[in-house]
């Protein structure tokens, strides 16, 4: 095996033995990227030289391991553009807290950032100003989104592991489409300081990795209280890798009947049933449960997420950073015209659609009918989960109702695209931790993912279930042929 194919856990061992150097890992990734990324497009701004010289790195538990970073997480002196024209040329003068933490543990921030839907608006990574990312398992299919570049880079061995962000499924859905592990932590577990905000009550940062062990390893580093993020929670973090050990006999998992419905692809359903059977063998106890307000989650989400987005994206106005399109300065209202022209040229189609929808939902006369009502239904969705978690430790569902769909298949029908997030959105609305792990393939050879949701701050339980499952299956070891 080449170094780029290994996990962080495996590489750390080799580094410690002294049989490889950090430079070898970088050079192996560089070679891989040069060979295949013109097809995949997992990385953006590829004209930047990936130097092979490694800067001074600190001692720490990730010493010498490169991490790929999504283009919406601020990296000091490294362009961060959210794959949007409006942030062209933006170079953050500071590191996001997650980046600081990685560096302080000796990790290397990979000099190329990963592709994404503009401002994380999308479920296919087709809304990027750098063009779509293609699925390593079949280049005619999407990678999912919005963290599609991170998921594809990990799946295609162009990265050891990566960070993504998840507002409605943007880590889990692409991880499932690409056959890798994706983890959405509990809201408040990981600092968002330095994440360019999409929907502040939903956004989280999390790992995308080749297996569950690496996921726990990366989560260890990025978790924890940060005074710079007022929503981060001051509770002690555990060593998640230690939590993986031990069996899962007697763990109770709920299967919500609302998720096994019409619209769920037959092959996906079969893979999930097989995974359930496997987990039963390991001693997990399953029971059918009900989350009665599931069918409202997408509608609630697209009001709350767009309302918050329209407010968060007001800062892109051509004044402090990024693109500016000047109207003639002699004109009356020249400033307003500058704003309008800049935002017209700078935002892509989906960003405009969401800003308009969100502005509408918050506008005078509509606020109560849309935004307030959505926040009330959100309460009902949270209560559904609280009820189920009285009797279950976890909930298991498919990550997505289908495997990856074809490029351009849904791009002209926003509603159809929004519905592809139907199984992942609820965890964001309720702030719950959730993981997607590979659980097989369709006949066409496309990966299928299984989602496990847990109680708030019970990351170790879902990681343990996922790890036990992984130890008894081979799906995470499959590699796409490229």
Partner 1 sequence: MEKKQNYSVDVEKVKYIAHLARIDLKEQELILLSSQLKKILDFIDQLKELDVEKVPPTSHVLSLKNVLREDMPQESLPLDETLKNAPQFKDNFFVVPKIIE
Segment 143 to 202, residues that bind partner 1, using CB under 8 A = 187-188, 201
Q: Which one from 146, 147, 223, 310 is the annotated catalytic residue?
A: 146
Contact 422, 172 (CB under 8 A): no
3-state secondary structure of 272: helix
What is the closest distance, in whole angstroms, from the C-beta atom of residue 439 to partner 1 in the complex? 28
Show contacts with partner 1 in window 391-420 (CB under 8 A): 414-415, 418
| Residue 343 binds to partner 1 (criterion: CB under 8 A) | yes
The question of whether 146 is a catalytic residue gets the answer yes
Name the H helices within 68-194.
97-104, 148-155, 172-178
- Report strand pairing: 252-256 vs 394-398: parallel
Tokens of 400: 């997505």
| Residue 230 binds to partner 1 (criterion: CB under 8 A) | yes
The question of whether 184 is a catalytic residue gets the answer no
What is the closest distance, in whole angstroms, from the C-beta atom of residue 88 to partner 1 in the complex? 10
By beta-carbon proximity to partner 1, the closer residue of 46 and 337 is 337
Show contacts with partner 1 in window 431-460 (CB under 8 A): 431, 456
Instruction: State CA 397 to chain mean position distance.
Output: 17
Whole-angstrom distance, CA of residue 115 vs CA of residue 117: 7
By beta-carbon proximity to partner 1, the closer residue of 89 and 236 is 89
How would you class 174 by CB atoms within 10 Å of its CB: exposed for 0-12, middle for 13-18, buried for 19 or more? buried
**Distance in Å from the first CA to the final CA of the chain:** 15
Greatest CA separation for the chain: 75
Angle in degrees, 0-180, between the axes of helices 266-281 and 459-471, rounded to the nearest 10: 90
Tokens of 447: 């990966």
Nearest to 220, CA basis, from 189, 247, 192, 194: 189
What is the closest distance, in whole angstroms, from the C-beta atom of residue 163 to partner 1 in the complex? 22
The question of whether 84 is a catalytic residue gets the answer no
Build a one-symbol-per-residue string for 84-123: x at contacts with partner 1 by CB under 8 A, - elsewhere: -----xxx-xx-----------------------------
Tokens of 31: 């070679």
Build a one-symbol-per-residue string for 288-317: x at contacts with partner 1 by CB under 8 A, - elsewhere: -----x-xx-xxx-xx------x---x--x
By beta-carbon proximity to partner 1, the closer residue of 45 and 353 is 353
By beta-carbon proximity to partner 1, the closer residue of 20 and 377 is 377
By beta-carbon proximity to partner 1, the closer residue of 427 and 448 is 427
Show contacts with partner 1 in window 356-375 (CB under 8 A): 356-357, 359-360, 363, 366, 369-370, 372-375
By beta-carbon proximity to partner 1, the closer residue of 96 and 152 is 96
Contact 253, 465 (CB under 8 A): yes
Q: Which one from 124, 128, 147, 170 is the annotated catalytic residue?
A: 170
Indicate which residues carry an active-site annotation. 70, 146, 170
């Amino acid at each position: 095996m080449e170094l780029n194919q290994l996990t962080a856990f495996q590489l750390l061992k080799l580094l410690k033995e002294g049989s490889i150097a950090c430079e070898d890992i970088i050079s192996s990734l560089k070679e891989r990227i040069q060979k295949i990324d013109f097809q995949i497009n997992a990385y953006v701004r590829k004209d930047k030289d990936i130097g092979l010289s490694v800067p001074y790195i600190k001692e720490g538990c990730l010493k010498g391991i490169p991490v790929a970073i999504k283009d919406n997480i601020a990296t000091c002196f490294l362009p961060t553009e959210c794959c949007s024209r409006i942030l062209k040329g933006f170079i953050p003068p500071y590191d996001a807290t997650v980046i600081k933490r990685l560096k302080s543990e000796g990790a290397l921030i990979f000099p190329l950032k990963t592709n994404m839907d503009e401002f994380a608006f999308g479920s296919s990574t087709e809304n990027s100003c750098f063009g779509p990312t293609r699925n390593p398992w079949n280049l005619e299919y999407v990678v999912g989104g919005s963290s599609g570049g991170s998921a594809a880079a990990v799946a295609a061995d162009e990265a050891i592991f990566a960070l993504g962000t998840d507002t409605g499924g943007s880590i889990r859905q692409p991880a499932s489409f690409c056959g890798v592990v994706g983890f959405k932590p509990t809201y408040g577990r990981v600092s968002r300081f330095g994440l360019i905000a999409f929907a502040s009550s939903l956004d989280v940062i999390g790992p995308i990795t080749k297996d569950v062990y690496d996921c726990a390893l990366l989560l260890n580093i990025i978790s924890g209280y940060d005074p710079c993020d007022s929503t981060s929670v001051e509770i002690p973090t555990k060593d998640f890798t230690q939590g993986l050990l031990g069996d899962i006999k007697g763990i109770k998992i709920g299967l919500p009947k609302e998720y096994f419905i019409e619209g769920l692809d037959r092959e996906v359903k079969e893979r999930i049933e097989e995974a359930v059977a496997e987990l039963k063998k390991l001693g997990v106890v399953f029971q059918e449960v009900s989350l009665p307000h599931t069918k409202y989650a997408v509608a609630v989400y697209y009001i709350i997420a767009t309302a918050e987005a329209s407010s968060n994206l007001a800062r892109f106005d051509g004044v402090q950073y990024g693109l500016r399109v000047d109207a003639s300065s002699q004109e009356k209202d020249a400033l307003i015209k500058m704003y309008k022209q800049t935002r017209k040229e700078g935002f892509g189609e989906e960003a405009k659609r969401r800003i308009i929808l969100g502005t509408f939902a918050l506008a005078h006369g509509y606020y109560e009918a849309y935004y307030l009502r959505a926040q009330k239904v959100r309460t009902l969705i949270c209560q559904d989960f609280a009820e189920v978690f009285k009797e279950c430790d976890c909930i298991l569902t498919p990550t997505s109702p289908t495997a990856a769909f074809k490029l351009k298949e849904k791009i002209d029908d926003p509603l159809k695209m929004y519905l592809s997030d139907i199984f992942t959105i609820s965890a964001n609305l309720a702030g719950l931790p959730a993981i997607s792990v590979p659980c097989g393939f369709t006949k066409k050879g496309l990966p299928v993912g299984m989602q496990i949701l847990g109680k708030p701050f019970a990351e170790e339980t879902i990681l343990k279930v996922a790890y036990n499952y992984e130890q008894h299956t081979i799906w995470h070891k499959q590699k796409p042929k490229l």
